[in-house]
A and B are shown apart, each in its own frame.
Chain A
Amino acid sequence: MNPAPRSLTMDALQFSGTVTAAFSHDFKNTLAIIKENTGLLVDLLAMAEKGRPLDPQRLATLAERIGRQVQRADRMTAELNRFAHSADLPEAQTDLGAMLEMAVVLSARPANLKRVGLEAVTAPPLWIATFPFGLQQLLYRCIALLLDRAGSGGRIVLEADDGRPPVALRVIARTAEDRIPAGETAPTPTPEMTGLAHALQIRLDWDAAAGGWRLTWRDVET
């Protein structure tokens, strides 16, 4: 017996959990580097007290390392905040280019674990009324199904059409040799993906020639 498909709410909760877990993992890594560098500073001060001179260049390197990690944490906080606010309104005027950039950030960890690059091709601003959180959820699922196809060293490209109706965007895989992954059947979208696409009034198609997904907004004027 097939398990019952999860509800969209369950899928949204699971997506939120996955994204925040990835962010918290990176925060922990960042904090660990900051902690060890401040620990090293304490080590060096203790050695200085015993007569070993402090090297200013060494201190400058430590300050630079800590500063770099603070910037990283600051960037992550801003990204996580933007993601959290994507659920504020059930429909908002949204720039698709900014959405694609956020999708790259949210999928960075699973992509990195498989050594797959992510790239958002940003065009002039293309505004559309949609539920930003739901669109991120759908893009995340689309990317996830392409990671193994792109393979180690490959990349996934997210790009919007030229803006003429109907509005569409593509999520396509490229191998390490910059080729369309060959010889594979179309991936099957999960019931949650098709349900989500329907709720967002998006037609979700597999574009074999492009090697990826095509998301087309139904009856939407820009």
Chain B
Amino acid sequence: MSERILIVDDETDFLEVMAERMTHRGVHVATAPSAQEALRQVEAGSFDAVILDLKMPEVDGLETLKAIKARQPEAQVILLSGQATLQDGIAAMKLGALDFLEKPADMNVLMEKIRKAQARKMLVVERRAEEKVKKIVSSRGW
């Protein structure tokens, strides 16, 4: 099954080339040049992974990560930054990021992370469905 991802970065040249390279690898790619646009797309659709730039105007990557997780707790977010610090990495993981990569990232590594994100998201969704079923079953005394 091909992956659906959202790439968020205020560098539009970066967005364009990443989208094209990922598309060549069979990934369905959406792009957003700002946090606001990213949140709009997250609300409108479902993605296996969100590749998120850390430093963006107005709303930065960590704030965006928090907002994405509040809207879709199962969303798998990979932070990508040209200015990665250990503190940022720790903060991102505490907020529920799947991973934290430094720019420029290796395409093969990134693809591997995206596949991992897809697998983890499926697992989370399955677990949720299972819990829901269990709740229904126990509430009806079956």
Contact = CB atoms under 8 A, between A and B. Distances in A.
Q: How large is the interface on A (under 10, 10 to 19, 20 to 34, 35 or more residues)?
A: 20 to 34
A47 B24 CA distance: 9
B17 A65 contact: yes
B57 A112 contact: yes
A167 to B, nearest CB: 35
Interface string A176-195: 00000000000000000000
Given A47-B24, A65-B13, A35 B104 contact: yes
Nearest to A36: B17
B103 to A, nearest CB: 4
A31 interface: yes
A31 B11 CA distance: 12
Contacts of B14: 29, 32-33, 36
B18 A29 contact: no
A21 B107 contact: no
Contact of B82 (A26, A68, A112): A26
A27 B107 CA distance: 19
B21 to A, nearest CB: 5
Interface of B: 11, 13-14, 17-18, 20-21, 24, 55-58, 60, 82-83, 102-105, 107
